[in-house]
A = this chain, B = another copy of it.
Amino acid sequence: MNKQGDHFLGVDVGGTHLKIGVVNREGEVLHFFKEDTMPYRDHPDGFNICFLKVIGKYLQQYPQIKNVGIGLPGLISKDRTTPLEIPAIPNLNNFNLKGELEKLYPEVKFCLENDASAAALGELKFGSSKASPNFLFITMGTGIGSATVLDGKIFKGGRGNAMEMGHMLSRGNEGLEKLIGRNGILRIMERMIHAYPEKAGDLIDQELGTHLLVDTAKEGNAVSLMVFEEAGRIIGEAIVSTVRILDVNEIYFGGGISAGLEFMMPAIEKTVRQYLTKYYLHDIKMSKATLENNAGTLGAAALCFTD
């Protein structure tokens, strides 16, 4: 028999779906649901009312839940009440989501956070990586997300939305995400296949994708390995600058493209060793995040933890 407050709802908001987990304090996902939010957009009640109602459905189903964490893909207000710029769901922009939820469900506590920050917190609370209270977290997927945990807390920066590493300027002043987000990686693949067709092997005449890239790299495809090497150098350079700004030297990598981290790591290592000094390097730690597909819901659930 569980005490009230032992279970948490973690809501990972994506562009087309909500991933919802009922999570206990040990980080086990006891129940998992997926809600398609596309119909909300044309619903007579409007997207936001539908969003409020679906949360209510789960609160009714699990009345022992008194804490709901919500991870959002974009910029939110520093007081963590209101989404500001959610490119995938502009309906939510400037809607006081926390306030409206609290009005409807006054006995429940709601915690909003950026999704990469939530995932970083999830790694801290539940990951098997034994993260320290100070680390940088980078998700490499469709986009490049990032977060920093300082003294065990999510780093918000001056106005609430620190850690937009994906928009740091990189080579030739492209944003990092443009260079090594999913589409950027595919552009590097195309370029490398074109430059070294004799080494491209299984990549020739395939529809390019990041799964194919990881799979062929595992088989030793020379072009795929070069693609990861190039991506590793670019992310390594961004890490150097970010470490100089934040003075963290523990770094975790999540997201789909991190499935190929082992192939990027030699170039990342080489780059950071080229540019960082002993102060940073002597106990630097860089490794894969460990929550994989559950990072979003577990991180969201962890937002409302109090000790």
In this complex, what residue of B is CB-closest to A244? B164
Task: Knowing A247-B162, A249-B158, say if A241 contacts B168 (CB, 8 Å).
Answer: yes
In the bound complex, what is the Cα–Cα distance between A65 and B164 (angstroms)? 44
Residues B245 and A165 in contact, CB atoms below 8 Å apart: yes
Residues B279 and A84 in contact, CB atoms below 8 Å apart: yes
Interface positions, chain A 135-164, Cβ under 8 Å from B, are 135, 148, 150, 156-164
Q: Is residue A62 within 8 Å, beta carbon to beta carbon, of the partner chain? A: no
Task: Knowing A85-B279, A279-B84, say if A245 contacts B158 (CB, 8 Å).
Answer: no
- Main SS at interface, chain A: mixed
Among A84, A85, A244, chain B packs the most CB atoms within 10 A around the CB of A244
In this complex, what residue of B is CB-closest to A161? B247
Residues on the B chain within 8 Å of A247, using CB: 156-162, 164
Residues A168 and B245 in contact, CB atoms below 8 Å apart: yes
- From B158, B175, B249, B277, give the contact of A159 (CB < 8 A): B249
Q: Is residue A81 within 8 Å, beta carbon to beta carbon, of the partner chain? A: no
Q: Is residue A167 within 8 Å, beta carbon to beta carbon, of the partner chain? A: yes
In the bound complex, what is the Cα–Cα distance between A150 and B279 (angstroms)? 24
Please tell me the number of chain A residues within 8 Å of chain B, measured between CB atoms. 36
Contact flags A237-266 to B (C-beta < 8 A → 1, else 0): 100111011111110000000000000000
Residues on the B chain within 8 Å of A204, using CB: none
Residues A173 and B246 in contact, CB atoms below 8 Å apart: no
Q: Is residue A196 within 8 Å, beta carbon to beta carbon, of the partner chain? A: no
Q: Is residue A75 within 8 Å, beta carbon to beta carbon, of the partner chain? A: yes
In the bound complex, what is the Cα–Cα distance between A164 and B163 (angstroms)? 16
Residues A246 and B162 in contact, CB atoms below 8 Å apart: yes
- From B168, B246, B249, give the contact of A244 (CB < 8 A): B168
In the bound complex, what is the Cα–Cα distance between A164 and B75 (angstroms)? 26
Residues B237 and A169 in contact, CB atoms below 8 Å apart: yes
Q: Is residue A24 within 8 Å, beta carbon to beta carbon, of the partner chain? A: no
Q: List 13 A–B pairs whose Cβ atoms lie within 8 Å, in order of A's numbering.
A: A75-B279, A148-B158, A150-B157, A150-B158, A156-B247, A157-B248, A159-B247, A159-B249, A162-B247, A167-B244, A168-B245, A175-B275, A241-B241
Q: Apart from A75-B279, A167-B275, A168-B241, what 9 extra A-B contacts exist at CB < 8 Å?
A: A84-B279, A135-B158, A156-B247, A157-B246, A158-B246, A160-B247, A163-B245, A164-B244, A168-B245
